Amino acid sequence: MLSGKRVLLVIGGGIAAYKSIELIRLLNKAGASVTCVLTAAAEHFVTPLTVSAIAGTKVYRNIFDLTDEAEMGHIQLSRAADLVVVAPATADLMAKMAGGHADDLATTLLMATDKRVLIAPAMNVRMWTHPATQRNLATLAADGILTVGPDDGDMACGEYGPGRMAEPAAIRDAVTAALTAGPLAGRHVLVTSGPTHEPIDPVRYIANRSSGAQGTALARALAALGASVTFITGPAAAKRPEGVRVVEVETARQMLDAVTAALPADAAVFAAAVADWRMASERPSKMKKTADGALPVLEFAENPDILATVSKLTEGRPRLVVGFAAETDDVTAHATAKRARKGCDWILANDVRPETGIMGGTENAVTLITAEGAETWPRMAKDMVARRLAQRIAEELA
């Protein structure tokens, strides 16, 4: 998978540095050779001896330790790799990278490299959400720096939230995506995700329980296979995927406009849980309770059918159109009928009764319905569903 590839791994000074040991092992197992640079702070969490033993290569720690520094060894070190990875990328390291600092070996080689750079941020949730860190992240993204993570989770400080470094396997996958073209290279795939919010008045809206987790996972999986992904999302709770074009919308009509603007595409996957109805006329001010207790009357209008609209295009229709069917009874039968009615190629049906825990949860159990019939997949993490579907899409478009 990564045979012959050379990775320069910069290990920053955070508790997540312990994960770098597993990352080295996974990269080596995939066939990559890994050269490591430790910051001074990193040595408080992992030892040079341990890193060197796992990597099987010399570990670099200080710019003045390079025996060939008279020949600009830090330049050679920074350019001998196919990819530079920073894991963990602490708030301090990100700030130095964004500001162009070069006051130690790690930051000097990051300034000197002519290769792509991938960072895996790791820090306290407050540090991650701090405006300064988010400004630095935006600067790095504008500079072409790739990012994987961070994840939500428990932290060493006892807090919970975004800031936990991505797991080593996810970083390895991001490295693979950065170093290999992938079966979807050159393909444009459109993905919709999340719920839509249909305003009732300025403070209320119609919505559903979709978290956007499945659509987000699918966008990541498609990008990992080399696709250029346009990710159109309603106001979902899920963190937006990195490395894709993100378009934020609120209502079904806005989502349809964004989908139309994003075409043409080789494939389109409609994972969004779009509201079927909207208010026939949005109230201009907040509705109030009346003194006599009379209940308000809400008049609804049907929203545009985005899946059917794209499926039935006569010009510019994606080669593969995939829909989702969230059902609460007769799942396969209803989804099969929906595929025929909408005119799409595939439908992924799932049972979203509250007791399944699927809508808004971390797992999914789907049945893939095609013209050939129904194929039931076992219940698995949404990331795994996404990878499996992305691979099927790649095979279909091959």
pLDDT tens-digit readout, 231-283 = 999 999 898 987 789 999 999 999 999 999 999 999 999 999 999 999 999 89
Q: Is 45 annotated as a binding residue?
A: no
- What are the beta bridge partners of residue 33? 6
37-51, 106-120, 149-163: range with highest mean pLDDT:
37-51
Which residue(s) pair with 191 in the sheet?
231, 269
241 is in an annotated binding site: no
In the block, tokens 């050779």 appear at 33
Q: Which pLDDT tens digit goes with each residue over 32-59?
A: 989 999 999 999 999 999 998 998 888 8
Q: According to the annotation, is 276 in a ligand binding site?
A: yes
Tell whether the model's pLDDT for residue 69 goes beyond 80. no
Q: Which two tokens stand for residue 334?
A: 């209803």
Q: Is 114 annotated as a binding residue?
A: no
pLDDT at position 215, please?
Answer: 95
> Which residue do the tokens 């999340």 mark?
194
> Is 338 assigned a ligand-binding role in the annotation?
yes
Average pLDDT of the segment spanning 344-352: 92
- Average of per-residue pLDDT values in the chain: 88
How confident is the model over 222-232, as a mean pLDDT? 89
Kind and range of the H or E element at 86? Answer: strand 83-89
Please tell me whether 264 is known to bind a ligand: no
Catalytic residue among 40, 72, 156, 157: 157
- For residue 67, is pLDDT > 60? no
Task: With 0.95 as the threshold, say if the pTM is over it.
Answer: no
φ and ψ of 325, to 5 deg: -130, 110
Decide: residue 395, CB within 10 A, 0-12 exposed, 13-18 middle, 19+ buried.
Answer: exposed
Q: What share of the chain is helix, strand, coil (3-state, %, to 5)?
A: 35, 25, 40
Per-residue pLDDT reduced to its tens digit, 276-319: 999 999 898 998 888 888 888 899 999 999 999 999 999 999 99
Nearest to 173 by CA among 85, 256, 109: 85
Structural domains in the chain?
6-179 (3.40.50.1950), 188-397 (3.40.50.10300)
pLDDT of 91 > 90? The answer is: yes
Instruction: Please give the angle made by the CA atoms of 147, 153 and 158, to the nearest 5 degrees.
Output: 120
Q: What's the rounded Cα separation, in Å, for the pair 30 and 50?
A: 20
> Residue 344 catalytic?
no
Confidence of residue 72 (pLDDT cuts 50, 70, 90): very low
Stated as kind and residue range, the H or E segment containing 16 is none
What count of other Cβ atoms lies within 10 Å of the Cβ of residue 209?
A: 14
